[in-house]
Amino acid sequence: MARQTVADGVVSLELAASSGESLPPWQPGAHIDVVLPTGVTRQYSLCGPVKDTARWRVAVLREPDGRGGSQWIHDHLVEGGELRVRGPRNNFPLRPAARYLFVGGGIGITPLLPMIAEAEATGAEWSLLYGGRTRASMAFLPELEGYGERVTVRPQDQYGLLDLAGYLGDPDPSALVYCCGPAGLIDAVEAHCAGWPTGALNVERFAAAAVRQPADDEAEQPIEVELRASGTTLTVPPGLSVLKAVEQAGVPVLSSCEEGICGSCETSVLEGEVDHRDSLLTDDERAANDTMLICVSRARGRRLVLNL
Amino acid sequence: MTLTQHVRNGWYLGAWSDEIGRTLKQRWITDIPVCFYRLPDQTVTAVEDRCPHRKYPLSLGHLDDDGTLQCDYHGYRFDGQGVCVGVAEQADKPKAALRRFPLVERDGAIWIWPGDPELADESLLPDTSWLTDPNWTHVHGVVPLKARHMLLLENLLDLTHETFLHPTSIGNAAVAATPIDVTVDGDRVGFSRRMIGIEAPPFYEKSCGLTSPVDRWQDGDFYPPGIFVLNIRVAATGTEEPDGFHMKVLYGMTPGRGNETHDFYALGRDYLIDDEELTRFQHEQQLAVMQEDVDALEAQEIMYATDPGGTAESSIKSDLAALRGRRAVAKMLTREQQAGGTRPRASA
Ligand code: FES
Ligand code: FES
Ligand SMILES: [Fe+2]
């Protein structure tokens, strides 16, 4: 495994089989699952040349608010280190077309790179609109420069939001649109393409970084949760939510969305520091540390005391 | 969502100025009957609409030219301060006074504070100067709604419903497809949605003469418990913010009696302000859109009211502003009850 920083907060990794054997074939749009030593599994799009069976390239954006996978790679994966991977699999295949309109946002450029190479190889007409926060945060610019005018690079700090209307234009029955990036971008592209023929738009979403997702596979440590009113103490293993553990202990508690949105599982916290992973509480409510949504949130330390 | 108790320590839109004159007007507010009227010096007054004698509605009585309010059941008479100044039947005055509510009349709106008068704080009111700004024009009114105030609140804080409920006027796919940013500032909840390069919804196409693509911004601010202001900007895509068409919608979500709500509205714009044709069109559209909301909310009210067990609701990301709005109201209610409130417990 070789690593290289390719933009602010983005490292690219080149992976080769430790046995030295050649790697399985794949098609543009494919991703691999990376299984980290912490037990976390993350998907990364393959972004090197399809023909290269000796190594795979992926790029990893550090997501401080993510589930810890990207942080681990940035902080602990060293040059020459080992990674377990599965795949490749392809949920985002490139279908044949005379014309392609690619829209990439931030790290969403990765699956598009081999697609672009393919479009170029087959002689299709194509263009790319590539947005990011700042130029420095956008990976693979030198590589893309080689394509000349087909590529439009639009960092947000210089140009604002992407001019999707200008770029996509009117529905073109001969064209396919491929978009990957943050949810907001995909939503906007979807809105634009509402009038396009069915199937013209193809997107790959990756989870929004801003919102902490349920703890399932991330919870690194077991935590101890005392339910003061019931006089019970539980050990909540990684991978189990506090809500589920409480339910399994036979303590009745309301819940509905189990995603940290609805607030029905809200529980008062008597002791311990909460690691808030919900979407609902405000910053003030979080800072007060006296309430938590137990379906997704956990403890910063090893112990919580709840009013249950 | 079974929050049916009402916060009283807060401002509600009680009436539009032009609704209140020298006749007595009854309007229930947070389950309190209120009688609005003007004194000879034109100041507006609101008193509890229950005669201290045998609770007959004072609004069924009459107002003398000197501003004396008379109950037309047994003749109790009250001065401008609500103090009983006599009764037709006997010479000595009964000891009685009416409960009067803090009011603020500003920009053509009358705001009422149904709770503890000590706490009535004018600075909590939103800026409504556009209602009287000569560079703006607006239409306003009030629509009766047989649904609890919270449902209206959630309707306004989650505008993704425009896509589905108002497809022929203000909604299109872009609304539901564009995520919102939600901010909380003390008790206030705000959201913002930026729709860039979208298809122009029919209402904006007609009211601004715009063709697609357009940029459309919605910034909503909820001033709990009952005021909502939506700032709208529509512009040809690429136009700078100040050059766009600006509109504002003010909603006064005022709980009435039981699960009824007064749905006050004002719709303003800062362009073509002398175009009466456009004003008429916008007013008609506003009422048509509100009717779609009223129909939906009244259907929804029945479903909440007949589900006392409160089967679980499912929520999604776009509910965030509305859920924060609920929390803000629930918190105010808790504060009020802890401050020695006289109200029964909320079943939130
Ligand atoms: S169950 Fe919805 S926030 Fe926990
Ligand atoms: S009820 Fe008003 S005077 Fe008797
Ligand atoms: Fe509506």
What pLDDT sits at residue B274?
Answer: 96
Range among A106-120, A156-170, A212-226, B51-65 rated most confident: B51-65
Which residues of B are less than 8 Å from A263 in CB distance?
A: 323, 327
For residues A259 and B300, what is the distance between their CA atoms, to the nearest angstrom? Answer: 25
- Give residue B340's pLDDT band: very low, low, confident or very high (50, 70, 90): low
pLDDT at B242: 66
Tokens encoding A140: 């693979």
Of A165, A191, A254, the CB nearest to B237: A165
| Averaged pLDDT for residues B78-85 | 96
Residue A242 sits at φ, ψ, to 5 deg, of -60, -40
User: Distance from B191 to chain A by nearest Cα, in Å?
Assistant: 13
Mean pLDDT of A157-170: 88
Report whether B289 contacts B201 (CB < 8 A). no
Q: Which atom of ligand 2 is nearest to the CA of B74?
A: 3
Residue A63: pLDDT over 70 = yes
**% chain A with pLDDT above 70:** 92
CA distances from B20 to A69, A291, B31, B42 (A): 64, 46, 20, 10
Q: Which residue of A has its CA nearest to B214?
A: A165
Ligand 2, CB cutoff 6 Å, lining residues: B 51, 53-54, 56, 71, 73-76
Q: In the structure, what pLDDT confidence band is assigned to residue B347 with cuts at 50, 70 and 90?
A: very low
**CB within 8 Å of chain B, chain A residues 133-162:** 161
Task: Give the pLDDT of residue B251.
Answer: 98
Among A30, A28, A54, residue whose Cα is nearest residue A43: A30
| Predicted confidence (pLDDT) at residue B344 exceeds the cutoff of 60 | no
Q: Residues 6 or more apart from A135 whose CB is under 8 A from it?
A: A141, A153, A155, A157, A158
Tell me which of A74 and B90 has the higher pLDDT: A74
A163 interaction partners in chain B (CB closer than 8 Å): 197, 237-238
ipTM greater than cut 0.85: no
pLDDT at A76 over 90: no
Best to test chain B binding among A167, A170, A187 (most B CBs inside 10 Å):
A187
Q: What mean pLDDT do residues B164-173 have?
A: 89
- Name the residue at shortest CA distance from atom 1 of ligand 2: B54
- Determine the distance separating the centroid of ligand 3 and the alpha carbon of A288, expressed in angstroms: 35
- Residues with Cβ within 8 Å of B96's Cβ and at least 6 positions away in sequence, in order, are B52, B53, B76, B78, B83, B84
Shortest distance between the Cα of A280 and any Cα of chain B, in A, equals: 6
Mark yes or no for CB contact B238/A195 under 8 Å.
no
Residue list, ligand 1 pocket, CB within 6 Å: A 255-258, 260-265, 278, 293, 295
pLDDT at A67: 57
User: What is chain A's mean pLDDT, rounded?
Assistant: 86
**DSSP strand pairing (A303-306 vs A266-271):** antiparallel
Q: Could you give the CA distance from residue B203 to residue B269 in angstroms, rounded to a whole number?
A: 13
Chains A, B: CB contacts within 8 A come to 75
Q: What pLDDT does A40 receive?
A: 63
Which of B72, B122, B154, B140 lies closest to B328, judged by CA?
A: B154
Q: What is the pLDDT of residues B2-51, one digit of tens each?
A: 556 899 999 999 999 999 999 999 999 999 999 999 999 999 999 999 99
Angle between helices B149-157 and B276-305 (to 10 degrees): 120
| C-alpha span between A244 and A246 (Å, rounded) | 5
Amino acid at B321: A
Is the minimum CB–CB distance between B333 and chain A shorter than 8 Å?
no
Of A212, A241, A264, best ligand 1 pocket probe by most atoms within 8 Å of the beta carbon = A264
- Closest residue by CA, ligand 2 atom 4: B74
Q: B179, A187: Cβ pair inside 8 Å?
A: yes
**Predicted local distance difference test score (pLDDT) of residue B230:** 97
pLDDT tens-digit series, residues A247-301? 999 999 988 888 898 898 999 999 999 999 998 998 889 989 999 999 999 998 8
- Judging contacts by C-beta atoms under 8 Å, the chain B residues touching residue A187 are 177-179
Q: What is the arithmetic mean of pLDDT over B44-68?
A: 97
- In terms of CA atoms, which chain A residue is nearest residue B240? A160
Q: What is the pLDDT of residue A75?
A: 83
Does the beta-carbon distance from B313 to A282 stay under 8 Å? no
Please indicate if any CB of chain B lies within 8 Å of the CB of A291.
no
Nearest CA in chain A to B183: A282
Mean pLDDT, chain B, whole residue set? 92
User: Would you call B317 and A261 a contact, using CB atoms and an 8 Å cutoff?
Assistant: yes
- How far is the centre of ligand 2, averaged over its atoms, from the C-alpha of B57 (Å)? 8
Confidence check: pLDDT of B121 > 70: yes
Q: What average pLDDT score do residues B266-282 get?
A: 95
The alpha carbon of residue A235 is apart from the nearest alpha carbon of chain B, in Å, by 28
Instruction: Determine the number of helices (DSSP H) and then strands (DSSP E) in chain B.
Output: 6, 17
Cβ <8 Å between A264 and B320: no
Mean pLDDT lowest for which of A99-103, A196-200, B153-157, B197-201?
Answer: A196-200
How remote is the CA of residue A244 from the centroid of ligand 1, in Å? 11
Question: Does B310 lie at the interface with A, CB-CB under 8 angstroms?
Answer: no
Return the best residue to mutate from B48, B54, B93 for the ligand 2 pocket (most ligand atoms within 8 A of CB).
B54
Please compute, for residue B288, the number of CA atoms within 13 A of its CA located in the half-sphere on the CB side: 13
Question: Chain A contacts of B185, Cβ < 8 Å?
Answer: none
> Which residues on A lie below 8 Å from B319 (Cβ)?
261-262
Minimum distance, in Å, between the CA of residue B287 and any CA atom of chain A = 27
The ligand 2 atom at the shortest distance from the C-alpha of residue B58 is 2
CA distance B328 to chain A (A): 10
Top mutation candidate among B56, B58, B59, B93 for ligand 2, by most atoms within 8 Å of CB = B56
Q: Is A41 a residue whose pLDDT tops 80?
A: no
Among residues 53-92 of chain A, which lie with CB inside 8 Å of chain B?
none
Mean pLDDT of B78-101: 91
